[in-house]
């Protein structure tokens, strides 16, 4: 139990750094004008390949980060 209590903060630091890096790696092709109808392209975009992998990895890492935060509260 003591090992888990000391390892959780380090796991949160590692997960937070990975989460920031993955978020910054994602492409952002939508601008503020496109949000208000100013873009000439359609707002519908299908994620494929590496973009989809980064998107799913972001969700998984975020869930793991929240889970470690909840475990840290319980301990």
Residue 23 lies in a domain: yes
The verdict on residue 39 lying in a domain is no
Q: What is the pLDDT of residue 31?
A: 56
pLDDT band at 75 (very low <50, low <70, confident <90, very high): confident
Residue 37 is assigned to a structural domain of this protein = no
Cα-atom radius of gyration of the chain, to the nearest Å?
17
Counted domains in the chain? 1
Range of the domain at 11: 2-28+44-74
Longest dimension (CA), the chain: 57
State pLDDT tens for residues 17-70: 999 999 999 877 655 555 566 555 556 778 888 899 999 999 999 999 999 999
In this predicted structure, what is the pLDDT of residue 34? 57
pTM, entire model: 0.76
Q: How many residues does the chain have?
A: 75
CA angle 49, 28, 67 (to 5 degrees): 75
Is residue 49 in a domain?
Answer: yes
Report yes or no on 34 lying in a domain.
no
Q: How far apart are CA 66 and CA 38, in angstroms?
A: 36
Q: Is residue 36 part of a domain?
A: no
């Amino acid at each position: 139990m003591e090992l888990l209590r000391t390892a959780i903060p380090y796991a949160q630091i590692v997960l937070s750094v990975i989460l920031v890096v993955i978020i910054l790696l994602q492409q952002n092709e939508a601008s503020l004008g496109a949000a208000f109808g100013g873009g000439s392209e359609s707002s519908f975009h299908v994620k494929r390949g590496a973009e989809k992998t980064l998107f799913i990895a972001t969700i998984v890492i975020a869930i793991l980060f929240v889970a470690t935060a909840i475990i840290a509260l319980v301990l």
